[in-house]
Structure 1
């Protein structure tokens, strides 16, 4: 299974969810050879509930993933924490949405939940918890207490950061952190737009039906990270198109 563990469904937090936009991204994922993604839209995006509500109407779901003609969309979200980092949480949809409801008082800057408290919500519910882009200057995790960092199921080798920090430079930061703490490293495109899809992904042997199975495979070392030779072009193109589309959306909303 080829899977991306960091995948957005909206152009930005401030835009509304568009199934057409998401379908374009999914079509590109299929063209790039992926069989699955983890949906990790921001937990405090505009009308978060609308994302899952729309998918519930449009696609069958078995509580672990939405099935789009055989393509798997595992359920998840990206959570801001008080320490400044972004955390990728995934697992059964009912548990995920329960956690999201509990996070409702913590959606604004200044009220974000602490990382330890987030682990206390996620671990008893069997969620997979990935530390997003741990060395991104604006949202880094590398300064957090090492005992907390060891609780992650994986760290995110992030497509955007590989472009902005440099491929070898970012690898030289993230992989040693994982090795030091005994935490695996997985790849996530961080795509908000179709051109960034496939810039990185993970190759896993066999097929998986639950996030728990994926977590076990990652912990067993079965996950192979793949970086596209066109990563820089893909991320640059996605950034340029995203800016243009955001301006268009803002003009239409006036």
Structure 2
């Protein structure tokens, strides 16, 4: 079973959830060799709950994932933590909603949740917790205390970092940190637009239907990692397209405001 552990279903956390774009992402992921992904929108995205509601209203939930046209969609959130860094928290749908409700007082940069408190919360609900892009310039998760980092289930080998800094550099950093913490690392495309899906894959020997399945297979390292040779082209294309769409949305909103004021 081939999985991407870091996928966003919205172009930007300031924009609305687009079900058509989401379904295009699922189809593109399938065509590029993925069997499932973790949908982990930013926890303070303005339309995060709409993505959950859309899945709940339209698709069957089996194990701990939605089945979207034969494709497995696990849900979670990418959470900002105090003093820098992002953590992906993936769990059962009911538990994720409880966690999001708990995080409501922590949505602003001045009051992000402490790392230890988030870990306690994730462990309480048996969530899969992955340290996102630990060496990214503006989100230096690796600087967090080791006593917290080693409680993570895995680290994130991230497509965007590979694109910017090169596979050999990024993987060496992540692999070394993972070894020092005695935890594995998995892959995440960090996709906000479908073209980026399939650039990285974590390929499990077994099928994974529940959070426990994911955690156990990651812990036992029953997987291999695949990196697309077309990664740079796909990320560049995704970046250009995403920025173009965002500009068009902004222009459309401005035009609407102008019409109302006239």
Q: TM-score, normalised by structure 1?
A: 0.98
**Paired residue for 1:245?**
245
CA distance in 2, matches of 1:163, 1:205: 27
**Paired residue for 1:138?**
138
The Cα of 1:47 is off from its aligned counterpart by 2.1
CA distance in 2, matches of 1:243, 1:179: 37
Count of paired positions: 254
The Cα of 1:93 is off from its aligned counterpart by 0.7
Q: Determine if the alignment matches structure 1 residue 177 to structure 2 residue 172.
A: no
The Cα of 1:69 is off from its aligned counterpart by 2.2
**Paired residue for 1:212?**
212
Larger Rg: 1 or 2? 2
Cα RMSD (Å): 0.9
* Kept in 2: contact 1:186–1:223 (CA 8 A): no
Q: C-alpha deviations, 1:186-230, integer Å up to 9, x for none?
A: 000000001111111110012111011111000001121111011
Q: How does 1:37-116 map to 2 (within 5 A)?
A: 37-62=37-62, 64-116=64-116
CA distance in 2, matches of 1:219, 1:80: 24
The Cα of 1:54 is off from its aligned counterpart by 1.5
Q: How does 1:109-124 map to 2 (within 5 A)?
A: 109-124=109-124
* Kept in 2: contact 1:205–1:222 (CA 8 A): yes
CA distance in 2, matches of 1:140, 1:89: 18
The Cα of 1:63 is off from its aligned counterpart by 6.2
* Kept in 1: contact 2:159–2:200 (CA 8 A): yes
**Paired residue for 1:235?**
235
CA distance in 2, matches of 1:250, 1:61: 35
**Paired residue for 1:193?**
193
The Cα of 1:83 is off from its aligned counterpart by 2.1
Q: Runs (4+) of structure 1 moved beyond 6 Å?
A: none
* Kept in 2: contact 1:91–1:212 (CA 8 A): no
* Structure 1 residues not aligned, in runs of 5+: none
CA distance in 2, matches of 1:66, 1:251: 35
The Cα of 1:62 is off from its aligned counterpart by 3.4
Structure 2 SS opposite 1:16: coil
Structure 2 SS opposite 1:61: strand
Structure 1 SS opposite 2:251: helix
* Kept in 1: contact 2:10–2:18 (CA 8 A): yes
55-64 or 208-217, larger mean C-alpha shift: 55-64
Q: TM-score, normalised by structure 2?
A: 0.95
CA distance in 1, matches of 2:174, 2:105: 31
